């Protein structure tokens, strides 16, 4: 599809450029002919009723006199000279062809064509031939249309040829990869399960020195590495190193193209981890987002003892995609989880946010004072995650702090604060929640009512005793809260 889109875009671009080249000079010439110089009159075919005005000459204005000083000299055309209809028609002859060549050359070409017809064509065909030549040169726009049609046909032919070639090349490449991929899979499987020795396997791995074949073999090994576990998994890096395929991956990892560099990092991480560690450390601050993210994920994978030590040297952002991938690796590979509270003092806000998420998920209560400090952060997202952590970690001593923060917070953070009182609230907080139900917005009233209702039996009894006069929407709020669908 990428090649098809490129071919179509090329056709449109070429056509547009051709039209611009052809039509712009023609439009400029037409515009020039519309303006008649001051002082020159064009003889009209209509009759003139006033005999005295028959030979009148249009007097030039002072502005026209200044702008056309050359016309006032004795060497120029007199102002009372008129342009006849035949002369005007002659000026318009070859108007399109004259854009590209001079009128003299056009006349020479026309003469040569006529001479050719007189010398080489039978007399019966000469009349039609001469008429065609006269029409073409008298109405040169026909020649322009013919050239335009020829240009479009040529472009369409090029596009069709490109599409046909691309499709054939793609099919050949796919067939090539399927044939050799299947063959390499069978050979490696036989070697892994002990059906053949390495010497015989090496003979069966045909054309392994070819660059394309080596790429196919690496993809096969990557597939086996992802699906084999235990003792069978250890054979994959062994085959990779025996064939010196790490050189191909190292070359990719040093490429200037980001997609190749990412591919090289992935191959080295899974098939040559001992050689990947040194290179990965230099790429965690790569300016390209994809390369940097892949390097950070690889660092966590290769450093089980201290997977997040790269935070100390991180100068570029820790992207959300990298955070999600790292979290997946921690759970999948059972990587030891560090105390994330120590990362809350880092300058990168995304590291602090990631640490708050990890503290909340893994219920780390070792240093909750650092979590509470994050409620004073300048970043709205960081404060939101701090309120969420206070709620999920059940930090009861933070109730007074978040009540003080409530008025100055955004609507999203206000809702998160009200949600926290559902789990950490007490009867002492009833007055605060009651005030929100009276003066807050509908969404804040609803969340405050929910927190009061589920906070305790005592608070539930208190809210039930209120009247519509005190809280007009109380019945609707309670009905919404009690509905199990909400």
Q: Determine the average pLDDT of the residues in 13-33.
A: 48
For residues 10 and 424, the model is more confident at 424
**% of the chain with per-residue pLDDT over 70:** 77
Residue 379 makes CB contacts below 8 A (sequence gap 6+) with 349, 352, 353
Q: How far is CA 131 from CA 114, 136, 138, 422, in A?
A: 10, 9, 10, 96
Q: Give the C-alpha separation, 203 to 215, whole Å.
A: 18
**Please, what's the largest Cα pairwise distance for the chain?**
118
Q: What is the pTM of this model?
A: 0.64
b/e sequence 74-88, b meaning 16+ C-beta within 10 Å:
eeeeebeeeeeeeee
What pLDDT score does 140 carry? 66
pLDDT band at 415 (very low <50, low <70, confident <90, very high): very high
Helix (H, G, I), strand (E, B) or coil at 209: coil
Smallest CA-to-CA distance from 455 within 481, 480, 483 is with 481
Higher pLDDT, 121 or 40: 121
Taking only the tens place, the pLDDT of each residue in 130-185 is: 888 777 777 666 667 777 888 889 999 999 999 999 999 999 988 988 999 999 99
User: Which of 423 and 75 is assigned the larger pLDDT?
Assistant: 423
CB 429 within 8 A of CB 402: no
pLDDT band at 299 (very low <50, low <70, confident <90, very high): very high
Which DSSP string corresponds to 328-387? HHHHHHTPPPP-GGGGGGSS-HHHHHHHHHHHHHTT--TTHHHHHHGGG-S-HHHHHHHH
- pLDDT averaged over every residue in the chain: 80
pLDDT of residue 77: 38
* Cα 50–Cα 55–Cα 56 angle in degrees, nearest 5: 85
Higher confidence at residue 53 or residue 198? 198
Cα angle for residues 402, 347, 281 (degrees, 5° grid): 135
pLDDT per residue over 366-381, tens digit each?
889 999 999 999 999 9
Nearest alpha-carbon partner for 265 in 278, 281, 276: 276
pLDDT of residue 356: 95
pLDDT, tens digit (0-9, with 9 covering 90-100), for 216-258: 999 999 999 888 887 888 889 999 999 999 999 999 999 999 9
The continuous run of DSSP H or E covering 126 comes out as helix 123-138
Cβ contact 296:290 at 8 Å? no
- Asked if 135 contacts 142 with a C-beta cutoff of 8 angstroms, the reply is yes
Local structure of 29: helix, strand or coil: helix
The string of pLDDT tens digits covering residues 57-77 is: 444 444 444 444 443 433 433
């Amino acid at each position: 599809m990428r090649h098809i889109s490129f071919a179509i875009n090329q056709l449109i671009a070429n056509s547009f450029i051709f039209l611009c080249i052809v039509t712009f000079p023609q439009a400029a010439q037409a515009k020039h002919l519309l303006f008649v110089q001051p002082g020159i009159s064009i003889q009209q075919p209509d009759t003139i009723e006033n005999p005295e005005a028959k030979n009148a000459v249009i007097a030039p204005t002072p502005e026209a006199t200044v702008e056309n000083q050359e016309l006032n000299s004795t060497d120029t055309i007199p102002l009372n000279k008129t342009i006849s209809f035949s002369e005007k028609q002659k000026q318009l002859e070859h108007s399109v062809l004259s854009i590209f060549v001079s009128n003299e050359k056009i006349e020479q070409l026309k003469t040569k064509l006529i001479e050719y017809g007189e010398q080489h064509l039978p007399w019966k065909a000469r009349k039609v031939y001469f008429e065609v030549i006269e029409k073409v040169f008298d109405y040169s726009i026909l020649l322009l249309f013919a050239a335009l049609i020829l240009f479009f046909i040529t472009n369409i032919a090029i596009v069709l040829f490109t599409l046909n070639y691309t499709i054939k090349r793609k099919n050949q490449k796919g067939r090539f990869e399927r044939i050799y991929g299947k063959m390499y899979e069978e050979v490696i499987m036989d070697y892994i399960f002990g059906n053949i020795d390495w010497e015989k396997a090496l003979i069966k791995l045909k054309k392994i020195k070819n660059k394309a074949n080596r790429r196919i073999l690496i993809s096969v090994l990557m597939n086996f590495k992802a699906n084999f576990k235990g003792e069978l998994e250890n054979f994959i890096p062994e085959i990779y190193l025996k064939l010196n395929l790490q050189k191909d991956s190292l070359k990719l990892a040093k490429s200037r193209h980001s997609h190749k560099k990412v591919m090289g990092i992935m191959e080295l991480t899974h098939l040559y981890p001992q050689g990947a560690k040194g290179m990965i450390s230099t790429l965690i601050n790569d300016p390209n987002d994809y390369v940097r993210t892949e390097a950070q994920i690889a660092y966590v994978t290769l450093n089980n003892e201290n997977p997040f030590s790269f935070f100390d040297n991180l100068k570029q952002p820790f992207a959300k995609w990298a955070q999600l991938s790292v979290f997946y690796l921690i759970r999948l590979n059972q990587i030891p989880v560090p105390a994330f509270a120590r990362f809350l003092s880092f300058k990168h806000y995304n590291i602090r946010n990631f640490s708050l998420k990890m503290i909340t998920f893994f219920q780390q209560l070792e240093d909750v004072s650092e979590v509470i400090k994050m409620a004073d952060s300048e970043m709205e997202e960081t404060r939101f995650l701090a309120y969420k952590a206070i709620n999920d970690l059940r930090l009861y001593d933070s109730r007074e702090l978040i009540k003080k923060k409530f008025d100055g917070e955004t609507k999203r953070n206000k809702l998160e604060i009200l949600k926290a009182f559902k789990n950490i609230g007490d009867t002492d907080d009833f007055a605060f929640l009651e005030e929100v139900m009276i003066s807050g917005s509908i969404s804040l009233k609803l969340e405050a009512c929910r927190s009061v209702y589920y906070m305790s039996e005592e608070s539930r009894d208190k809210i039930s005793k209120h009247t519509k006069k005190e809280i007009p929407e109380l019945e609707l709020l309670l009905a919404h809260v009690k509905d199990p669908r909400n």
